[in-house]
Amino acid sequence: MNNEKNKTGLTELEDGQTGIIVSVLGGKTLTKRLADLGITSGTEVKVIRRTLFSGPVQVEVAGSRLVLGNGLASKIVVETK
């Protein structure tokens, strides 16, 4: 069980949890825009915290802090151990 990898949306991670980005489920404009901010598959991403009522998610990726809208964050598929 330990080695089994789980794929979930970024929004499913707990605050403080880290995951590796597997893919971005979105059009190419969005995917590119995110890539320009360092959000690409294979990159590590850490959820810092979110707001009440499934609001936006604050993440740390590529050494920077970013805020992503909830709908957007749910399209980022991550892998956790």
Partner 1 sequence: MTDEKKINIVLAGQGNSGKSVVFNYLTGLHQHIGNWAGKTIEKREGTLYYKGYTIDVLDLPGIYSLTTYSVEEVISREYIIHHHPDFVINIIDSTNLERNLIFTLQLLELECPVILALNMIDLAKKKGITIDFKKLQGIINAPVIPAVASHGSGLTRIIDKVIDLRGEKADHSIHRYGKEIESCIKQLSELLKGIDLPYPVRWIAIKLLEKDNDITTLVGEKRAGILDKVKQLSENLEEIHGHDSSVVIADERSHLASQITREIIKITPDRKLSLNERLDAITTQKFTGYLVMVLILGGMFLSVFSFGNWLSGLFDSIFKEWQGWWSINVGTAFIASLCWAAIESVLALVQIAFPYILPFYIILYLLEDWGYIARISFLMDKLMHKMGIHGKGCISFIIGFGCNVPGCLSCRIMESKRERFITAVLVTLVPCSAVSVIIFGLVGKYVGLLWALGLYLFAVAVIFIAGKISSKLLLGEPVELIMPMPDYKTPHLKTIVYQTWDALKEFIFIAAPIVVVSGVVIQAINLAGWMPAISTFLSPVTVTWLGLPAITGILLIFGILRKELILVMLAAFLGTTNFSDALTSQQMITLAVVSMFYIPCVATISVLWKEYGWKKAMAICVLEILFAILLAGIAKRLLDLVF
Among 3, 4, 16, 28, binds partner 1 (CB under 8 A): 28
* Residue type present at position 61: V
How many residues sit in the footprint of partner 1 (CB under 8 A)?
34
Contacts of 28 (CB under 8 A, 6+ apart): none
**Residue 75, token pair as written in the block:** 């399209």
User: In this structure, are strands 44-50 and 76-80 parallel, antiparallel, or unpaired?
Assistant: unpaired
Query: By CB under 8 A, is residue 6 in contact with partner 1?
Result: no
Least gap, CB of 2 to partner 1 (angstroms): 27
Site residues (vs partner 1, CB under 8 A): 28-29, 31-43, 49, 51-56, 58, 62-72
